């Protein structure tokens, strides 16, 4: 948005337009307020009343259209942007300026903690992921430090994971996940290209796992994050981080790994929403974990259940670490 003002000239009238599942629109409105410019946001009908209310409270012109971001974006262009000579499009994820901004996250991580081995982030349209990859590539970290990246989605909004699995840049027929902030039926082409790198692993978790990631994070850290973010955090709780990044490592080796989990997207969430997740999904996740543990045991791997064996496998922070068992 700053670059748009600079290129158009500060004296020229500008009206910003953004299509979004919610969070990108909220960011656009906040920036527009800071720049003293008007903003119109179009969100799909699946965007929560909570998020729509926040957008309106900030003074945005808000419209709801379509079942997913793609329909909302098409409507935005046809009904508003194409008819406004002073209109400026603010893409939620598919633009090099967005990636450049997200890439600064890598600079901040370097300043904060220095050395690290991997980064975990959620993926909607792929703007955050593409930015992180750009930041790592810019510093030649893939070659110099062998940094790994885990890109996480929810099933039903997993356009990137399915694209990589099928070997083509696909468009999902619809979004069925509760994580509407991840509701891009097709990720940015640049995100799809980055995901083909050998340093990248794509993963899709269920809505239940993502929701309980948010619930557990609130219990442990007293931070409220929406389910679109909880999907990344869930990998911390269920042993997948070690399964992906620590395969073959001893417990001592695993404890020395430094993995950054990007925590973002806390707007579409309340305590009541999290409590609803707990009531709806806690038992579902427990049953799924038991079934997964049985399957892993059959393949020679067992992940220790926190409730079953809390005295044996705590790491330095008090959380249980998964254990690799020899094949029978």
Whether this model's pTM surpasses 0.75: yes
pLDDT in tens, 58-83: 988 999 999 888 899 999 999 999 99
Q: Minimal CA–CA distance to 117: which of 293, 15, 244? A: 244
Q: Is the dihedral of CA 298, 304, 309, 313 positive or negative?
A: positive
Question: What pLDDT does 203 receive?
Answer: 95
**Token digits for 269?**
């969430």
97 has pLDDT over 50: yes
Binned at pLDDT 50, 70 and 90, residue 180 comes out as confident
Q: What is the mean pLDDT of residues 16-31?
A: 90
User: Is 169 in contact with 186 (CB distance < 8 Å)?
Assistant: yes
Domains of the chain from N-terminus onward: 2-89 (3.40.50.1100), 96-298 (3.40.50.1100)
Among 286, 308, 264, 281, smallest CA distance to 24 is for 264
Residues 184-198: what's their mean pLDDT? Answer: 93
**Is 208:178 a contact under the CB 8 Å cutoff?**
no
Q: Give the DSSP H/E element, type plus range, for residue 203.
A: strand 200-205
Cα→Cα distances 272→50, 275, 277, Å: 12, 5, 9
- Mean pLDDT value of segment 166-188: 90
Higher-pLDDT residue of 89, 146: 89
Three-state secondary-structure class, residue 22: coil
- Rounded mean pLDDT, 160-168: 95
* pLDDT at position 290: 58
Per-residue pLDDT tens digits for 253-301: 999 999 999 998 778 888 999 999 999 998 887 766 655 655 555 555 4
For range 218-233, the mean pLDDT: 93
Contact 207, 178 (CB under 8 A): yes
Q: How would you list the strands of the sheet with 118-122, edge to edge? A: 200-205, 148-154, 118-122, 259-261
Q: Per-residue pLDDT for 183 more than 90?
A: no
């Amino acid at each position: 948005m700053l670059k748009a003002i600079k290129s158009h000239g500060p004296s020229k009238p500008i009206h910003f337009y953004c299509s979004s599942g919610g969070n990108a629109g909220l960011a656009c409105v906040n920036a527009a307020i800071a720049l003293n410019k008007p903003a119109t946001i179009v969100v799909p009908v699946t965007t929560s009343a909570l998020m729509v209310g926040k957008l309106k409270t900030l003074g945005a012109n808000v419209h709801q259209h379509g079942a997913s971001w793609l329909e909302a974006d098409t409507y935005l262009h046809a009904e508003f942007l194409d008819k406004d000579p002073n209109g400026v499009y603010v893409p939620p994820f598919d633009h090099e300026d967005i990636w450049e901004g997200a890439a600064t996250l890598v600079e901040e991580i370097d300043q904060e903690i220095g050395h690290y081995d991997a980064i975990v982030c959620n993926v909607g349209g792929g703007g955050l992921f593409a930015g992180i990859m750009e930041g790592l590539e810019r510093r030649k970290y893939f070659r110099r430090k062998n940094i790994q990246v885990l890109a996480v989605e929810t099933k039903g909004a997993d356009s990137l994971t399915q694209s990589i699995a099928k070997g083509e840049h696909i468009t999902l027929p619809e979004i069925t996940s509760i994580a509407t902030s991840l509701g891009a039926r097709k990720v940015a082409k640049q995100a799809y290209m980055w995901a083909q790198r050998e340093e990248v692993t794509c993963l899709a978790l269920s809505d239940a796992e993502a929701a309980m990631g948010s619930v557990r994070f609130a219990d442990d850290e007293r931070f409220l994050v929406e389910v679109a973010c909880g999907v990344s955090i869930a990998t911390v709780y269920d042993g997948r981080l070690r399964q992906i990044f620590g395969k073959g490592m001893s417990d001592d080796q695993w404890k020395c790994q430094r993995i950054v989990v990007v925590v973002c997207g806390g707007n579409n969430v309340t305590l009541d929403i999290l409590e609803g997740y707990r009531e709806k999904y806690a038992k579902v996740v427990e049953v799924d974990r038991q079934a997964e543990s049985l399957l892993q045991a059959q393949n020679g791997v067992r992940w220790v259940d926190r409730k079953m064996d809390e005295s044996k496998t705590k790491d330095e922070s008090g959380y249980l670490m998964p254990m690799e068992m020899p094949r029978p």
